[in-house]
Amino acid sequence: MGRETSDEHYVLDLCDEVLGERGSRGHRFDWLLGDAGKTGRQVGLPVDAYWPSNRLVVEYRERQHDEPTAFFDKPDRLTISGVYRGEQRALYDARRDELIPAHGLRLVLIRLTQLDSTPRGRLHLHRGVDLPVVRRLLSLT
């Protein structure tokens, strides 16, 4: 499955529809950085999408953000942070959760469980069910 057919892409498209503009996918801020690698270089952490006119960042938190998932966690390999991928994901999620609002941006987390999903962690892609939920989550009031 390609990125353009992913659940994340579907959710961000719903956000675009609600907001009336396309968000910047995989946006990087110069102040949101990953841990330094062996060379000491830090790479910017991407956010799922950013809408500058709304000062809004949306992060779609799939199943692997809330529970161990061997495919994503790579339990046999340490990351540049010296921890396993699941732990690094939690650290980077916490960094986003703290720094995005600290820089005056609104952060909206959309979780898989808030949308019409299967027990195995996939969305049903029922636009009529999911769009009102996304609209409520993004409400700018």
Is it the case that residue 57 has pLDDT exceeding 60? yes
Determine the structural domain holding residue 111 and report its residue range.
Answer: 3-138
Q: What is the CATH number of the domain that holds 54?
A: 3.40.960
Closest CA to 96 of 48, 42, 43, 41: 48
User: What was the pLDDT predicted at 83?
Assistant: 67
Q: Report yes or no: 123 and 116 within 8 Å, Cβ to Cβ.
A: yes
Q: What is the pLDDT of residue 1?
A: 43
State the pLDDT at residue 86.
74
> Dihedral through CA 110, CA 48, CA 98, CA 123, nearest 10?
20
State yes or no: pLDDT of 90 exceeds 80: yes
- Given a contact cutoff of 8 angstroms between Cβ atoms, the answer to whether 73 and 63 are in contact is no
Q: What is the pLDDT of residue 20?
A: 97
> How many structural domains compose the chain?
1
**Banded model confidence at residue 138, pLDDT cuts 50, 70, 90:** very high
Higher-confidence position of 28 and 86 = 28
What number is the average pLDDT over the span 117-128?
89
